[in-house]
Amino acid sequence: MTVDVSICIATFRRPTGLSRLLDSLEQLKLPAGLRIETIVVDNDTDSSARPIVEARAAALDPIRYTVEPRRNIALARNRAVAQARGEWIAFIDDDEVADEGWIAAYWDLVERAECDGAMGPVLVQLEAIVTPWLDVETFYTRHRSSTGDSLGPSDLRTGNAWVRRRLFDECRFDPAYGLSGGSDSELFGRMSRSGARFLWCEEARVVEFASPERHCLRWLTQRAFRGGYVHTRLDRVAAPGNDLRRALRALALVVGFGALAPVAALGGRRCLARVVLRICTQAGHLWALTGRSYEEYGAGFSTGR
């Protein structure tokens, strides 16, 4: 069977999220004649996602399931790519659901515009209100643009992505980022710097369901720290030799934001939280510059080099 689009999903012990995602894929409205397949790679050695996938074998035919036993999201993504047969690969996460026009919007864009890939908006929806003053618009909204706008390396990630299959012929997600996060930004950044053209597709929307444990300042500070850490790891590879300048800048910003915190506190919890998150981001930069690791999907902090 010839396939136009391979939908690739890496999952790890999210039965509710994966079920919700697959339900949304059943509702996709596809352009006439467009042929898709769904690939689910389970990063759980217990194969916990198998019954969820098998229950939808008829509705999502063809759908394929495999296990990547090594705990590493980059390896799970690589296994999905290796199985993909489509001209295009669409990535979506197991805590997201696709709009019914998700695939059609990407297909329309690449039919009209010359590009090697595209990204679309990820709209966050809270599963439960845990911390009422942490509103979605202020603390969970991500970058958006206008359809057809060009994207740079810092704008690219797999949460909602569409990539030409042949770009993976000679490159894969780097397992070195498989526990810290950032393997998507690292790979797509390499592709972009090698000349691949990525565009924004505003109509290709997905919704991310934020679990209750994410609706708190602690989770946001960890994510801000991780963002700074991964950004500096990637930046050091792309432009080596500027560590002293990077460290001085990050340290200056930590001190500056720290001095601003008492003033921000007068504006309320939201103002103070925004300053705290900026401090955490700069602390992540500094942590990466020490050569130490931070594994968001593993054990957390590590002093190993």
Same domain, 14 and 95: yes
- Confidence category of residue 291, pLDDT binned at 50, 70, 90: confident
The whole-number pLDDT of residue 295 equals 78
Q: Are 131 and 249 within one domain? A: no
| pLDDT value for 301 | 35
My answer on whether 53 and 172 are in the same domain is yes
Residue 234's nearest CA partner among 169, 289, 161, 170 is 289
What confidence score (pLDDT) does residue 302 get? 36
Q: How confident is the model at residue 292 (pLDDT cuts 50, 70, 90)?
A: confident
Q: Which of 213, 232, 256 is the last residue of a domain?
A: 213
Same domain, 208 and 234: no
Q: Are the CB atoms for 197 and 113 separated by under 8 Å?
A: no
Do the beta carbons of residue 94 and residue 44 sit within 8 Å? Answer: no
Q: Are residues 206 and 235 in the same domain?
A: no
**What is the mean predicted confidence (pLDDT) over 14-31?**
97
Residue that terminates a domain, selected from 179, 213, 247:
213
How do residues 60-85 score in pLDDT, each as one tens digit? 999 999 999 999 999 999 999 999 99
Same domain for 263 and 120, yes or no, is no
Which CATH number belongs to the domain containing residue 16 in this structure?
3.90.550.10
Answer yes or no: are the C-beta atoms of 56 and 90 closer than 8 Å. no
- pLDDT above 80 (res 42): yes
Q: Are residues 157 and 235 in the same domain?
A: no
Query: Do both 196 and 229 map to the same domain?
Result: no
Would you say residue 182 has pLDDT above 90? Answer: no
pLDDT at 303: 33
pLDDT for residue 305 is more than 60: no
Work out the average pLDDT over 215-232: 95
- Would you place residue 298 in the very low, low, confident or very high pLDDT band (cuts 50, 70, 90)? low
Q: Judge if 133 and 258 occupy the same domain.
A: no
**Mean pLDDT, the chain, integer:** 93
Same domain for 232 and 182: no
Same domain, 238 and 155: no
Out of 187, 213, 239, pick the residue that ends a domain.
Answer: 213
138 and 106, same structural domain? yes
Q: Which domain holds residue 250?
A: 216-302
Structural domains of the chain, count: 2
